Structure 1
Amino acid sequence: MSDESRIPRSTENDHTNEMAKVRRDFLTHKTGAELKYTGEYTINPEELPGNIENFIGVVQMPVGIAGPVQVNGEYAKGLFYVPLATTEGTLVASYSRGMRVINECGGVKTTVVEQFMQRAPAFIFNDAREARDFGLWVEENFDQIAAAAESTTSIGKLKHIQQWSVSKTRYLRFNYTTGDAAGQNMVGKATLAACEWIKATYPHECQYLLSGNMDTDKKHSHLNMLHSRGKRVIAEIVLKKEVLARVMKVDTQVLAKATVLANTGALMAGAAYNGPHSANGIASIFIATGQDEANVVESHAGLLSHELLPNGDFYLAVTLPSLICATYGGGTGLPTQRECLELMDCYGKGKANKFAEIVAATVLAGDISLACAVIAGHWVSSHDKMGRNRR
């Protein structure tokens, strides 16, 4: 590649308004694209090291507010206004409609069941017996391995190591708690230290690959449905028959039958989530609050459970087994992202579980609204009315 094709960079200070303009001018010269709006922003580029390279400006996303929603959690308690960054018309209105139903039914109960973040190295041996014996040694030396891992972090704690043997390889899956950070980088550093300690201490020769891909980083996997990655959080509610009929124009018995059909369809399709659309709410909140957007792949997977009660009311629950979210570190501290977290009192340390409960409650609200819209025939008409921008 010729020097004239290289993206301009400064070795002294690359995160400045001046360097951003140099790169925009370079791109305009190379491509003909005008970057007028990309170059209009209010954030200070000096805040961006660690978040972006080759900075040229910002992509501005519309942010709307859904709610309020009554959350009866262990961490999130009260009414919350939820910021949703999206370009899909009707989405904010739909979530607000679901939240209205939740409120009139007394609120949504939320529970964080457990939380782990993983790194999964693979250790390679000469044969399967060596790999098996190594696994026994790991179990016997867990405390020392944990000490080596935790020497790299004041927050991360190694809780347990899962193991699997395949041919002459022993796959280990290190499970950590990571406080209010999502923790992928944290556990990567900790596991590297642990693997180096293992390699130096194990009485026989061994080699390892830091990630054998069983951590399934930023990929959906059934393993994460069973063994939580991020936070396993559950949002549940009893929908009152009268409220659903009045607000949504839907009978709970019809909703129960439709949910069975939807479950069967999701099963046949091999879908990662059997409810209407968990990814919509999660992605919109993630973009607004500075989460790693790739984590939507893992976070949206889950289970929608229902039961038609004898009195005609309708129990509904969303289980998100791999909700990866943070209120500290990463992009959460950037100016607009921090403001969106502050709207929910979810910025900073000690707030991650609260945030997770609000996200789960939002997913439940969206599922209630969309499921009822499909049944009542409002799905297409609402998008025609509110969701069509043809400019």
Structure 2
Amino acid sequence: MAWSHRNHKEAIHERQAVLRQLPGWRDEDERIFQWSVDPSQLASFQEALTGQMVMPVSVVGPAKINLGRYAWQDGCLVETDRYQDDAVYIPLAHTEGGLSMSMQRGFHVLNRAGGVKTYLLNDMMTRDSAFVFNSGDESKAFYDWVLQEREGLAAWLNDPNHPDKQLKPSQTVADVSRHAVLLNIDAQLVGSVCHLLYRFFTGEACGPNMITRNAYALNREIVRRIEDKGWHLVNIFLEANMGGDKKPSHEHYNGGHGKTVMASAKLTHQQLRRFLNTTVDEIKRLEWTGLHGSNASGMQSFAFTPASAVAALFLTTGQDLGMVGTSSMAHATIQALPDGAAFSLQLGGIEVGTVGGGTSLPHAQSYLRLLGCQGPGSAQRLAQIIAAAALALEISASASMASHGSENFFRAHLERGGNRPT
């Protein structure tokens, strides 16, 4: 049979029939075809829909988090308000034994110390369009032109009356999104290639699709404006790897793509000893050793296990799983204080949204609603909750590893890892 990517009922049944004929198929495998959500609701989220996967979800909490509200004003991200939420319940989809218990332990001690405080440091999504010329002379001339014209180009794209922002009769989505605001255009030369980094604010959406449409429209307008320059434009690539999407990068380690969030908390000597069975000196020794190990192995991220928290929350809230790579770039620190220690975790580029894509799935909608992540400011709230959850896990897991011989860490994985009786 021709393997169809379409999702009408007959195509789904045909693909299922092929799988049933495979040598490894068993009667109990029919469970992957038993829909918990009607396939008609799922058909728009991917191609070649064939079955479903069930993941267990734990809920950790309550977590005390002090969060900020933010807005772009005159080209700067400004904190407009702060608020305290003492009852954040965090849903985690995963199969990693010990993860939920460790994060719960982290929040248990952090709540006693007043909770976690989060700050949004940046909020933008980046597309890197590359303009390839015949020579470095031409790319440099183009570079100079872009720096002179970038304000006008941004005004052209951001114009609310832009003709391509109007929905045409044959369209379901306009060519240019009115929800993505172009904040700036940066340029970088690499020989005969000029990379243009388009920096967008995308509101409650993560925004990769909308910034792709807008970058494509802007590229076409740039070509129109330089037609009389006499430059030989060899090619244009809509994304050329400087944008930072779905992969770790030194360029965006400290921010610039996604939501840059810092979570911080303080613990006393007594709280560390009583609830985490460790001391400031023990964790500092682990940090010192780990930093040298990271440096020697070329690691970019300086944190214990942020990807576990990020991925588990991405699954429950319908995020693009490919973005875990960027979103888990992290830098954890511990600062010794006279009465204890101050902990921080900075995530350079959390790529999340609360509208669009997988966030529209029925179960994701339920979890987003339980997190209080719907409506204005909800994407920024979600990013801050993810950072707080990652810090709670970081502190707890680090304390286990810092114990003598890392025995606590070993015991937790011995008791909680692998298949366990219920």
SS of alignment partner, residue 223 of structure 1: coil
Give the residue type in structure 1 aligned to 2:342. Answer: Y
Partner in structure 2 of residue 117 of structure 1:
125
Contact kept? 1:240, 1:314, Cα under 8 Å: yes
Correspondent of 1:128 among 128, 136, 142: 136
Contact kept? 1:263, 1:275, Cα under 8 Å: no
Contact kept? 1:149, 1:191, Cα under 8 Å: no
1:248 deviation in Å? 0.9
Partner in structure 2 of residue 278 of structure 1:
306
SS of alignment partner, residue 115 of structure 1: strand
Partner in structure 2 of residue 197 of structure 1:
221
Deviations 1:196-242 (A, max 9, x none): 00001113243422222211321111001144210000000111211
CA distance in 2, matches of 1:198, 1:131: 14
CA distance in 2, matches of 1:32, 1:363: 39
Deviations 1:349-374 (A, max 9, x none): 53001001100000000001101111
How large is the Cα RMSD of the aligned pairs? Answer: 1.8
Indicate how the Cα distance of structure 1 residues 9 and 136 shifts in structure 2: closer, same or farther if over 3 A, else same.
closer
Correspondent of 1:7 among 3, 16, 28: 3
Partner in structure 2 of residue 385 of structure 1:
415
Query: Where do residues 82-121 of structure 1 align in structure 2 (5 Å cutoff)?
Result: 82-121=90-129
Indicate how the Cα distance of structure 1 residues 282 and 36 shifts in structure 2: closer, same or farther if over 3 A, else same.
same
Partner in structure 1 of residue 58 of structure 2:
64
Correspondent of 1:37 among 31, 39, 56: 31
- 2:389 matched to 1:362? yes
Higher fraction of strand: 2
- 2:351 matched to 1:327? no
Indicate how the Cα distance of structure 1 residues 141 and 217 shifts in structure 2: closer, same or farther if over 3 A, else same.
same
TM-score (norm 1): 0.93
1:144 deviation in Å? 3.1
Give the residue type in structure 1 aligned to 2:402. Answer: I
Contact kept? 2:328, 2:347, Cα under 8 Å: yes
Contact kept? 1:148, 1:197, Cα under 8 Å: no
1:148 deviation in Å? 4.2
Query: Where do residues 1-391 of structure 1 align in structure 2 (5 Å cutoff)?
Result: 4=1, 6-8=2-4, 14-16=7-9, 19-34=11-26, 35-75=29-69, 77-78=84-85, 79-150=87-158, 151=162, 152-202=176-226, 203-204=228-229, 205=231, 206=233, 207-311=235-339, 313-376=340-403, 377-389=407-419
Indicate how the Cα distance of structure 1 residues 336 and 46 shifts in structure 2: closer, same or farther if over 3 A, else same.
same
1:101 deviation in Å? 1.2
Q: Which runs of 5+ in 1 are unaligned?
A: none
Give the residue type in structure 1 aligned to 2:16. Answer: R
Number of equivalences = 382
Q: Indicate the percent of aligned positions where both proteins have the same amino acid.
A: 29
CA distance in 2, matches of 1:37, 1:278: 32
SS of alignment partner, residue 308 of structure 1: strand
Q: Which runs of 5+ in 2 are unaligned?
A: 70-82, 163-175
Indicate how the Cα distance of structure 1 residues 199 and 339 shifts in structure 2: closer, same or farther if over 3 A, else same.
same
CA distance in 2, matches of 1:9, 1:124: 34
